[in-house]
Amino acid sequence: MAAAARSAFSTRPSAKRARPTPSPPSPAAPQASAELAGTGLLEQVVFPALYPSERGVYAVHADETIALWKSLSGGNKKLESVVRTNGSNRHNLTYGEILPSSFAADVIPLLGPMTRDDVVIDLGSGTGKLCVQLALETGAGRVRGIEFASRRCDVADEALRRMSGVGSEDLGSAMAKGPVAASLFGSDWEDADTGAVPEEEEEEEAEAQSTAAAITNAAAAGPESARVPAHLEPVIREAATRLSLERGCFIAADLSDVTVAFVNNTVFEPDLMNALLRKLATGCPKLRRLVCLRKLCCRHGRRCTMTGAPCTAFVHPPTAGTLNPTWCEKTTVFAYDIDQDGRGLVHAPPSPTTASSAPSAAAAANVASPARAPRQVAPSTPRKRPRDEDAADAGGAPTTPPTVQR
């Protein structure tokens, strides 16, 4: 597996210039990266190297949060009320993470294939782990993340700095504070003490065994001993050039370039979710797919269309799947396409364009199909209940109201 990953990653360009134009990765690269995530390499080696300490990062101060949201509301009183409600409830801001292996296997396929023309965004990116994974495992030309909690933004900025400088002497020593065996990743693993790289390459079988040993030893040694394998360093540096981590409010941000969006809306209040949907429906002209963890509308129907609800901008029903987070054993994930032809309007008739582009079989055979006659509804005769007959015989009024004939 390690050899396959090395051959796949070696096809990707290394970041030798300040900010090279991102090129589409090899089709095998995302698959190899997903396999690495499945084996635990990304979670137990790469992430600990980029995030050596997250202690206290999820502590949220209500006053700071409310002040930030209010400053980003632009004087909109209704928006201020929405963000104040969500910002003051710290339980709405801290719940857990999505496991990297599950994100690679369950979420990234729902996002769809991406090229260097795509811009994918994580709305509420936290410390930026999912953004890092998207940059490493997809072919998106740009990966954006937006987060408003200052501590998480600080950690995300530090992780991006480490990504950009991974492999440098000073960063390498900082990432390898503890002793790590030189044979962990075969010929590609640099010795933590001497910095020497073995000259002769090991066999495929030995590399596979050393990869498994790396995961086991890294898990046993703890995050302070994590170090990125040398053959992954160019890949990580290149991914950093396509990664943009922003701090602020995603409702106030410019999302005009976004083509694919992900949002963990597990604990979003209804007002905040409606504001986000209106933002995506009106401020994202290039958006084609949205992946989220809660349905945009649990009771989508005609009333949504009649009231102009923002959920009508998306095609219903969504594509559904499952994933593994840290806050529960399993949860559902939904993928919505942007409505382009009225399909989001429930029970709406097909548009003329759609009807003309897909002729019926009868039309294709030049067979005139007879017009369907309107259904005849026979008038119904009310049937008296026994107690009504007794009441009528006694000269009284029926006990039940008369039935209205159609």
**DSSP codes, 182-225:** TTTTGGGPPPTTT----SSPPPHHHHHHHHHHHHHHHHHH-GGG
pLDDT of residue 59: 55
pLDDT of residue 358: 40
Least Cα distance to 217 among 245, 243, 246, 182 occurs for 182
Pair 231, 126: CB distance under 8 Å:
no
pLDDT of residue 147: 92
pLDDT of residue 178: 29
Distance (Å, whole) CA 32 – CA 4: 7
Residue 133 CA: distances (Å) to CA of 28, 47, 64: 16, 9, 29
Pair 266, 95: CB distance under 8 Å:
yes
Q: How do 142-147 and 243-247 pair as beta strands?
A: parallel
Pair 10, 231: CB distance under 8 Å:
yes
Q: Determine whether domain 2-6+27-58+94-337 maps to CATH 3.40.50.1820.
A: no
pLDDT of residue 135: 93
pLDDT of residue 343: 45
Tokens of 259: 């083509």
Burial pattern 17-29, b for ≥16 Cβ within 10 A else e, equals: eeeeebeebbeeb
- pTM for the structure as a whole: 0.61
Distance (Å, whole) CA 385 – CA 399: 9
Other C-beta atoms within 10 Å of 313: how many?
21
Beta strands in 44-163 (DSSP E): 119-123, 142-147
Residues 6+ apart with CB under 8 A from 191: 182, 197
Q: Please list the residues that pair with 244 across neighbouring strands.
A: 144
Distance (Å, whole) CA 55 – CA 328: 21
Q: Per-residue pLDDT tens, the chain, 406 aa: give them.
A: 444 444 333 333 333 334 334 444 443 354 445 445 555 677 777 888 888 766 556 555 555 555 555 554 555 555 555 555 554 444 445 567 888 889 999 999 999 999 999 999 999 999 999 999 999 988 899 999 999 888 889 999 999 999 988 766 434 443 443 222 222 223 332 333 334 334 444 444 554 554 555 555 554 555 444 567 777 788 888 999 999 999 988 998 999 999 999 999 988 888 888 889 999 988 999 999 999 999 988 777 677 777 777 788 888 889 999 998 888 888 999 999 987 765 444 433 334 443 333 444 333 333 333 443 444 444 444 555 445 444 444 444 444 444 445 4
Domain spans in the chain, listed from the N-terminal domain onward: 2-6+27-58+94-337
Question: What secondary structure letter does DSSP report for 98?
Answer: B
Distance (Å, whole) CA 185 – CA 91: 41
Cα 388 from chain centre: 63
Pair 139, 72: CB distance under 8 Å:
no
